[in-house]
Amino acid sequence: MIDNLRGKSGQGYYVEMAVGSPPQKLNILVDTGSSNFAVGAASHPFLRRYYHRSLSVSYRDLGRSVYVPYTQGRWEGELGTDLVSLPQGPNATLRSNIAAITQSDRFFINGSNWEGILGLAYAEIARPDETLEPFFDSLVRQTSVPNLFSLQLCGAGFTQNYTLGSATVGGSMIIGGMDPSLYVGELWYTPIRRMWYYEVIIVRIEVNGQDLNMDCKEYNYDKSIVDSGTTNLRLPRKVFQAAVKAIEAASSTEQFPSGFWLGEQLVCWQTGTTPWHIFPVISLYLMSENRNHSFRISILPQQYLRPVEDVASAQEDCYKFAVSQSSTGTVMGAVIMEGFYVVFDRHRKRIGFAVSTCHVHDEFRTASVEGPFHGVDLEDCGYNLPQTDESTLMTIAYIMAGICALFMLPLCLMVCQWRFTRCFRPHGPGDFADDISLLK
């Protein structure tokens, strides 16, 4: 299962899957931030191939439709089940729920080379509801595969040792286990706070060793998740503003347009001259399994400055700032994961991080996972929705009812007066027409 992922920078990592009988091979985006297994099932300008349900003798229609919106893009389709396997995965075939995508908007990406999405998160966020069993749950239930998987996303570091064809990045997805050859040093684990997304708790953020000094709840507002289907490190508005200010100050030896920090403009240097040393290291501290300790993962600029191949010439290296603002909490996307080997240990409800053997670095700095660091009540850093007690709700309800009564009383009096007048007034020629029109 080593070296079974491919992709393009900023367009996700995909694995080959075989769907139906006889098997139809498709490239499927690996997404730990959603829970539906869905494939293109109709022609689309950006798809080289798609799933033909009519050609599969094992396809079963469930007679239900499904609609799934993402942060960017959406799709809708029809639910069914079919036989599925991973040619470069465990030697097992299972019957899985599958959504046949019939319509989409800004979902498929031109040139990305994938034709569907494999949501690896939990049933709670499956669409149309949590009764739809996700792919990985079906795999564990129907086979002897253990309830964990691990990802090594290699980013630009992959091209040094492998031939990728049209792809520019690659990696490995180990289903049912871990591979010690894919990481160095120790694995550090953080608890999965809630089994919907892969939610974790961030307790501290530093830029070049300087604490952002924010209330740790801000880092997790309204959640912090590990999501291979998102490219960037996405941060809540206040955290993003503080982080950019610190990164900008640390790299002030060169001036960059404001649009660069907003992800709207690229910066380019002559090939091989990118001044990595002027950009700071970003460190995220995650709560460890011992709730009063944390560990630190350090992210290099080689990760959060994403190479953009489409506009770069042979003489230039161009980059996009891959840290962005979020309205849905912190998202540790692919640019974070590309420095680490990440273990999704669903059985023990934890996520492990270790330094990846393929991450990009220079002679001065390397990505790192270090700990432990002592803390107190780190679990309190998690964000909780404000709770309103029952007595408060009842008080609000009575107040609203009183306000409604004040507005309704004059209206009722006016209606009564009108009905009273109408009872004693002879009908004119147009009155019945008005009554009939009210019935329409």
Instruction: Let me know the angle formed at the C-alpha of 259 by 166 and 275, rounded to the nearest 5 degrees.
Output: 65
Instruction: Name the one residue in this structure whose structure tokens are 């995508």.
Output: 101
Taking every pair of Cα atoms in the chain, the longest distance, rounded to a whole number of angstroms, is 98
Residue 431: active-site member: no
**Residue ranges of E strands in 237-304:** 267-270, 282-287, 293-299
- 144-178 as b/e: b if 16+ CB within 10 A: ebeebbbbbbbbbbbeeeeeeeebbbbbbbbbbeb
In single-letter form, the type of residue at position 366 comes to T
- Calpha distance 356→306 (Å, rounded): 18
DSSP for residue 281: P
Residue 31: active-site member: yes
- Cβ atoms of residues 192 and 351 within 8 Å: yes
Helices and strands (H and E) in the chain: how many:
8, 25
- Calpha distance 355→358 (Å, rounded): 9
Active-site residue identified among 31, 82, 137, 317: 31
The count of other CB atoms within 10 Å of the CB of residue 83 is 18
- Cβ atoms of residues 33 and 123 within 8 Å: no
Q: Is 180 helix (H, G, I), strand (E, B) or coil?
A: helix
DSSP for residue 386: P
Active-site residue identified among 82, 137, 227, 317: 227
Positions marked active-site: 31, 227
